[in-house]
Structure 1
């Protein structure tokens, strides 16, 4: 049975997929010609998805709040300040020249890469550990399509190509020349469980984080609210 199934699938792929591939190449996505893909500006994406400015930087829209299960504050650890749903999901767009400022929340936050340029998530843990993770479409370059920031972790994000070079330990950082934010941006989704509530959102003061990780001062200065 296993051999028969394997033979059948091999025959299927050989006979079917080349036809599908040739058809796709000829038509392109949505029937457009290859070589001329439609690239929407940041303003167009913001308008079409009805995004609004996020207090921490960038633009967002909450797309889902799962109220099928409600959690009372008394059921949660003390860092959760209000009652909430079980989970939330948002769109988040970050244009070139902008950053998502350093902040932390009590729940885990999962990023899902959708379109545009890669985006880098910077984490600063309570023990001073610095971690940088790049989300994007290029798996061969080590970019990830999904990444989860642990609960109660200071983190921020920036368009990866806005930074020309840096050291993984956060000790050095060189900003790239300015780019057109309409053409250079990242669109991701963010899922929180339990649900995100602005009452929990703690914004970082750079002076406090300098004491936590003095060697990461370049990144803290770059990502902390001014």
Structure 2
């Protein structure tokens, strides 16, 4: 069997371009709504309890550094390894390696904590990675902030090279 291409998955899953890079499609949005009054102050309105998307990055693409107000659980589905760069609240750079080979330090799931800056890119030698992202409380663009290259690099000069490579 021939391995499906990235364009196959984009077509079959109905993925569209994402503002941060790559292609995505929402799969699930909980009907359970968490009222604003029950959420931390940085949420500006009611939120679905959880949301989920498919996300695909091909060779030469990247998801630019951004942050959201919720935890984001990443799931590996198909393709090649994906690197997820996370700058923690303490300023530490953590590189999560999503994939199907634990002998190479890859895992099927990883979590990016709420408020961390993060970006992703196919690992060297990867053609594409098909992953999923589950967010709780659910994703809303009101909670999304795309990093400004110079501002983030000035805040974390020890990570400036990666920040410059993975911002627009």
* Bin of the TM-score, shorter chain as denominator length: over 0.9
TM-score, length of structure 1 as denominator length: 0.72
Of the three residues 152, 161, 166, the one matched with 1:218 is 161
Gaps of 5+ in 2: none
> After TM superposition, what 4+ stretches of structure 1 lie above 3 angstroms from structure 2?
none
Cα distance in structure 1, aligned partners of 2:103 and 2:90: 31
Secondary structure (helix, strand or coil) at the match of 1:217 reads helix
- How much has 1:125 moved relative to structure 2? 2.1
- Equivalenced residues, count: 168
- The equivalent residue for 2:141 is 198
> What's the CA shift string for 1:100-147, capped at 9, x where partnerless?
000000100000000001000001123221111100011111101100
| Root mean square deviation of aligned Cα | 1.2
Gaps of 5+ in 1: 1-36, 163-178
Residue pair 2:154, 2:160 contacting (<8 A) in 1 also: no
Considering fraction of residues, name the structure with more helix. 1
Residue pair 2:55, 2:132 contacting (<8 A) in 1 also: yes
Instruction: State whether structure 2 residue 5 is matched by structure 1 residue 41.
Output: yes
Cα distance in structure 2, aligned partners of 1:189 and 1:203: 19
Structure showing greater Rg? 1
Residue pair 1:159, 1:186 contacting (<8 A) in 2 also: yes
Instruction: State whether structure 2 residue 113 is matched by structure 1 residue 158.
Output: no
Cα distance in structure 2, aligned partners of 1:61 and 1:188: 11
Considering fraction of residues, name the structure with more strand. 2
